[in-house]
Amino acid sequence: MTDAAVASLSLDDKELAKEIEASVEVGENASLGKLKELGVSFKLYSHPETATIDKQAEHLGHLPGVLTKNLLLRDKKIGTFLITVLHDRPTDTKTIAKLLKLGGKANLRFADEETLEGLLKVKRGAVSALAVLNDTGNAVTLAMDKALMEQPIVNLHPLRNDRTVAISTAALLQFVHAAGHEPTMLDFDSVPVAPPPGPAPVKEKNRSDSKNGGDKSTAVAKASASTPGQTLLGIDVSKKDNFALWYTRVITYSEMIDYYDISGCYILRPWAYSIWESIQRWLDAEIKELGVENSYFPLFVPKSVLEREKDHIEGFAPEVAWVTKSGDSDLAEPIAIRPTSETIMYPLFKKWIRSHRDLPLSLNQWSNVVRWEFKDPTPFLRSREFLWQEGHTAHATFEESQKMVMDVLNLYKKVYEELLAVPVIQGRKTEMERFPGGDITTTVEAYIHGSGRSVQGATSHNLGQNFGKMFEIQYEDKAGGHAVPWQTSWGLTTRSIGVMIMAHGDDKGLVLPPRVAPKQVVVIPIVKASLSAENKAALQSYAERITTDLKAAKIRVHLDHRDNYTPGWKYNHWEQKGVPLRLEVGPMDLDKGTARMVRRDSGLKVDLAAEAVVHTVLHVLEEIQANLFAKCKAERDKKLVKVWEWRDFVPALEEKCVILTPFVNETEWEEEVKRRSREEALAGESEDARTATSAAAKTLCIPFDQPDLPPGTKCFVSGKEATCWVLWGRSY
Ligand code: 87F
């Protein structure tokens, strides 16, 4: 991190504003002039150009006040709208049209650059509500987030994106009124993320068993008429049509996630936490096999210690969350909440590593970390607090440390492939993408077929002797001399659960790999009201016997014997929750001594003899695990292509491919690919750069498994001689 960036974190913001205001000609800028004229107080910040909200957050995220997303939308028939909303709002045109109450026929589009400059006289990337000042003809309707009005301070670009003004929302309203605009308020609470609970048709997927009353329509009518509150929302959007919304539906309807009042923070409900426990159980045992011990270090980092290692913090500073007060009193020194624990642990490493006999020192901790992200948050994939394990080891030789890096990376591959059934590619990060505090970053990269994006699954770093030197970790080696240890650090987070959900889920909801499913089998007795008490009891004990047998074989099984839900409702419920196998037991099964097994992954139904249930279930669970992996790998492999020339690169990206190219592996060329791929993909259209997903390609890794690279092979972008094959993609 540069000194200036460190300073901007700790400098009192009033001082910063004063310092900056002095260097800006307020009078030159019409919007600032207007604010002065109105006599409202404001602060002005200067920063490099920030054309996107992410960039703005990078430079200003630590200051008071909220950031906004601003867009100019247009419907040729209805008119033009300047939308100013809180930074984490969904801003797809459908949602906005709904909030503006434009009716189903509206056709909102992002206004082009020409319209923008014509009407508001600002460049793209510099738009804010302050731009209505230039709309003297009142051609634009200003629409503002209702919730914004509850915020004390808002940060906005004053017609240029290398400046930001902080003003009160009251002052902002005064400003827009003075500019002749009465803003329309957008109430996002009226468009919930998940639809409100309400009656939805329950599909009775009962088999037409005459004894069970197979008339579907009657069954549905009964379910909703006689048992209010028994309705179940179905996933009403397909994975293919709207992946983001589909994901939101799946994680909420499956009872994995609930939302919280702080943006970017989520509740991991038992169904999700149990999956994390499965991952923990397996990985924890394997880590211990490598000789690593668990420990726990404090959540807090003193400011001076966090900032001691500048390279390490470089670029991360805006994401650090600080505690500055206890009650009403300021703390003597601000305290950071751990975003990672290098700076917390290594002062102790210095204390504990004195002799070569103290090595290797291999510690792991299971904990939470906080990184105050400003990109759109996504449950599991990008949240402001997440769970992980972080391992930190110190060794006498580079070779030993590198072995640890690779052993752990291999465990991470197994977590993804053998537990979560998601194939990954192992490799090394390029100079541009590696962790700057270390020497080598290795990674496992997954691919999400539904979105065409890649995800960094987990990383394992060789830190070299950088931290050792920085934290003065020194020991006496065998020869009696002084030596600095070789260190590693590595982490796997709850992001892995999000990757698994995205990889396997379908239009009915979650699909869980049996190895991590909290329940692997659900047994559902088909009890109808018409059944005699005696038959009911017999059926009940039959279902219980099957359940007990499965439990005895260590299968995670649940008997859903609730009598206030219909079988059809239960089928839907457990399908949404992704349980790998369902066993239906009805009166006919009792008579015949059978059970009907239904697979979640394929929908396949088979009638089993009761004696064969345990054996078959064990076998089929393995088959489902293998099938999910194979399906996911086939989908990925279909999209894994080689490209030799630039002209084929962006078209392949557009086809949602992950791309292997011969590459010169120079940072300038990597930047060039990022820039050009974004530009060509957007072809003049605006990227909704405020969202977390970018149109640009980036390097995912230099795969360990390198295809042949005959001497003389040219780099696909620079035309120079290629040095390796590199994997590229759009990523989360
Ligand atoms: C955010 C804020 C402050 C990532 C951050 O990958 C610091 C950091 O150091 C930061 N985000 N990192 C890199 C973490 C490196 C390393 N730490 C141990 C890992 C795995 C676990």
Give the pLDDT confidence of 19-31 residue by residue, as tens digits: 445 445 565 789 9
Confidence of residue 308 (pLDDT cuts 50, 70, 90): confident
Tell me the pLDDT of the chain averaged across its residues.
89
Does 257-504 match 23-190 at the fold level?
A: no
User: What's the pLDDT at 203?
Assistant: 34
| 35-49, 560-574, 649-663, 717-731: least confident range | 35-49
User: What's the pLDDT at 459?
Assistant: 98
Domain 257-504 CATH (choose: 3.40.50.2020, 3.40.30.10, 3.30.930.10, 3.40.50.300): 3.30.930.10
| Pocket mutation for ligand 1, best pick of 303, 316, 341, 433 (most atoms within 8 Å of C-beta) | 316
State whether the beta carbon of 459 lies less than 6 angstroms from ligand 1.
Answer: yes
State whether the beta carbon of 489 lies less than 6 angstroms from ligand 1.
Answer: yes
- 572: CA distance to ligand 1 center in Å? 41
Instruction: Write the DSSP string, 164-204.
Output: EEEEEHHHHHHHHHHTT--PEEE-GGGS-SSPPP---PPP-
- 339: CA distance to ligand 1 center in Å? 6
Which pLDDT tens digit goes with each residue over 498-557? 999 999 999 999 999 999 999 999 999 999 889 999 999 999 999 999 999 999 999 999
The model's pTM: 0.73
Q: What's the whole-number mean pLDDT along residues 483-512?
A: 98
The CATH code belonging to domain 521-635 is 3.40.50.800
The CATH code belonging to domain 640-729 is 3.30.110.30
Q: What's the whole-number mean pLDDT along residues 103-117?
A: 90
Confidence of residue 40 (pLDDT cuts 50, 70, 90): confident
- Fold category of 23-190 in CATH: YbaK protein (3.90.960)
Hey, which residues does 355 pair with through a beta bridge?
Answer: 476
- 338: CA distance to ligand 1 center in Å? 9
State whether the beta carbon of 343 lies less than 6 angstroms from ligand 1.
Answer: no
Locate the domains of the chain by residue range.
23-190, 257-504, 521-635, 640-729
| Angle value at C-alpha 143, between 138 and 147, nearest 5 degrees | 150
User: What's the pLDDT at 8?
Assistant: 30
- Kindly report the protein residue whose alpha carbon is nearest to atom 2 of ligand 1: 316
Phi-psi region of 23 (alpha: psi -120 to 50; beta: other; left: phi over 0): alpha
Does the structure show a pLDDT above 70 at 564? Answer: yes
- Kindly report the protein residue whose alpha carbon is nearest to atom 10 of ligand 1: 340
State whether the beta carbon of 371 lies less than 6 angstroms from ligand 1.
Answer: yes
Confidence of residue 697 (pLDDT cuts 50, 70, 90): very high
- 435: CA distance to ligand 1 center in Å? 8
State whether the beta carbon of 318 lies less than 6 angstroms from ligand 1.
Answer: no
Q: What's the whole-number mean pLDDT along residues 677-691?
A: 71
State whether the beta carbon of 462 lies less than 6 angstroms from ligand 1.
Answer: no
User: What's the pLDDT at 509?
Assistant: 98
- Helix/strand/coil for 691: coil
* Residue showing tokens 């992980």: 388
3-state SS of the chain: helix, strand, coil percent to 5? 35, 25, 40
Which pLDDT tens digit goes with each residue over 451-475? 999 999 999 999 999 999 999 999 9
| 195-199, 248-252, 674-678: least confident range | 195-199
User: What's the pLDDT at 452?
Assistant: 97
User: What's the pLDDT at 221?
Assistant: 27
Which pLDDT tens digit goes with each residue over 607-626? 999 999 999 999 999 999 99
Pairing of strands 79-86, 140-145: parallel
- 342: CA distance to ligand 1 center in Å? 8
- 340: CA distance to ligand 1 center in Å? 5
Tokens matching residue 34: 């207007």
| 15-24, 47-56, 571-580: least confident range | 15-24
